């Protein structure tokens, strides 16, 4: 279990996450949603152990993240930032292989599995400077998957992808969750959260407003409270679409 306990995170001298407590279930997809500036990315950084909280704690299986050696933490938690920069113009497959660094092994099967999962076979030998934004996003996520972490923490991993690759990635993340990995995604698209997440955290101004299954955390009333938008869900064949301005 990954959990935040009365967590406060400060950035730039102000609290961007305030006294937040939440349990993130393993073997599930958790979506963190909220308006711009709600504290979503800062919460994800704290959950990954990459920024120290001003107060409270993050624990993994009851153990504070702050007590874990960096290498062990990197083996357990795979983090994908939004708009990650690539320092070296290496071939795509070599960048994916960097995901094995926390383990110190070649991990050929894990690397090839990640390349296949993100549909990168045709791009494996191409320098990353010659990839489109969406292709680069897939390579960076494959690097995380190649590390075989127990938890996948990704900040807007679907934003740069076309529809086909979005759906393929969601299907792969679902398979990861079914295999026992915890998956935590920052999302802006509420329909993606409603249709694909098992658990949703709704943030506003750094505070947790709602938590639970999508149908309970993303009601029209909560959407109006948090986003200031009148909306309703329309369902067709088990798939929900958000209709606004109604």
Instruction: Please state, for a pLDDT cut of 70, what percent of the chain lies above it.
Output: 100
Phi, psi values for residue 37, rounded to 5°: 80, 10
Question: 2-244, which class in CATH?
Answer: alpha beta
- Of 15-24, 129-138, 188-197, give the lowest mean pLDDT range: 129-138
**How far from each other are the two terminal CA atoms of the chain, in whole angstroms?**
39
Per-residue exposure over 142-172, b if at least 16 CB sit within 10 Å of its own CB, e if not: bbbbbbbbebbbbbbbbbbbeeebbebbbeb
Mean pLDDT over 200-220 rounds to: 98
- Phi/psi for 219 (5° steps) reads -75, 160
Tell me the whole-structure pTM to 2 decimals: 0.94
3-state SS track over 38-65: CCHHHHHHHHCCCCCCCEEEEEECCEEH
Tell me how far CA of residue 194 lies from CA of 24, 65, 131, 183, 227, in angstroms: 17, 30, 31, 15, 16
- Residue 126's pLDDT is what? 97
The residue ranges of every structural domain in the chain are 2-244
CB 39 within 8 A of CB 200: no
pLDDT score, position 88:
86
At 246, the pLDDT band (50, 70, 90 cuts) reads: low
Residue 156 three-state SS: coil
Confidence of residue 86 (pLDDT cuts 50, 70, 90): confident
The per-residue pLDDT for 222 is: 98
Tokens of 83: 């708009």
Other Cβ atoms within 10 Å of 42 Cβ, number: 21
Condensed to tens digits (0 to 9), the pLDDT of residues 171-196 reads 889 999 999 999 999 999 999 999 99
Of 36-40, 162-166, 181-185, 219-223, which range is least confident? 162-166
Q: How confident is the model at residue 83 (pLDDT cuts 50, 70, 90)?
A: confident
> How high does pLDDT run on average in the chain?
94
């Amino acid at each position: 279990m990954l959990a935040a306990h009365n967590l406060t995170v400060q950035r730039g001298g102000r609290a961007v996450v305030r006294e937040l407590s939440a349990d993130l279930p393993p073997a599930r997809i958790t979506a963190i949603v909220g308006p711009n500036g709600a504290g979503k990315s800062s919460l994800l950084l704290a959950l990954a152990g990459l920024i120290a909280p001003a107060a409270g704690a993050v624990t993994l299986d009851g153990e504070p993240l702050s007590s874990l050696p960096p290498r062990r933490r990197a083996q357990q938690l795979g983090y994908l930032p939004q708009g990650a920069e690539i320092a070296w113009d290496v071939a795509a497959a070599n960048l994916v292989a960097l995901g094995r660094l926390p383990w110190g092994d070649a991990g050929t099967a894990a690397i090839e599995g990640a390349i296949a999962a993100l549909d990168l076979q045709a791009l494996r030998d191409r320098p990353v400077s010659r990839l489109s934004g969406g292709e680069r996003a897939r390579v960076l996520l494959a690097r995380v998957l190649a590390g075989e972490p127990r938890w996948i923490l990704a900040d807007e991993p679907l934003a740069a992808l076309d529809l086909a690759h979005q759906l393929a990635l969601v299907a792969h993340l679902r398979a990861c969750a079914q295999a026992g990995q915890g998956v935590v995604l920052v999302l802006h698209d509420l329909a993606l959260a409603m249709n694909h997440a098992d658990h949703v955290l709704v943030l506003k101004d750094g505070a947790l407003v709602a938590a639970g299954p999508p149908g309970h955390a993303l009601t029209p009333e909560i959407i109006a409270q948090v986003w200031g938008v009148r909306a309703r869900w329309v369902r067709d064949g088990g798939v929900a679409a958000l209709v606004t301005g109604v």
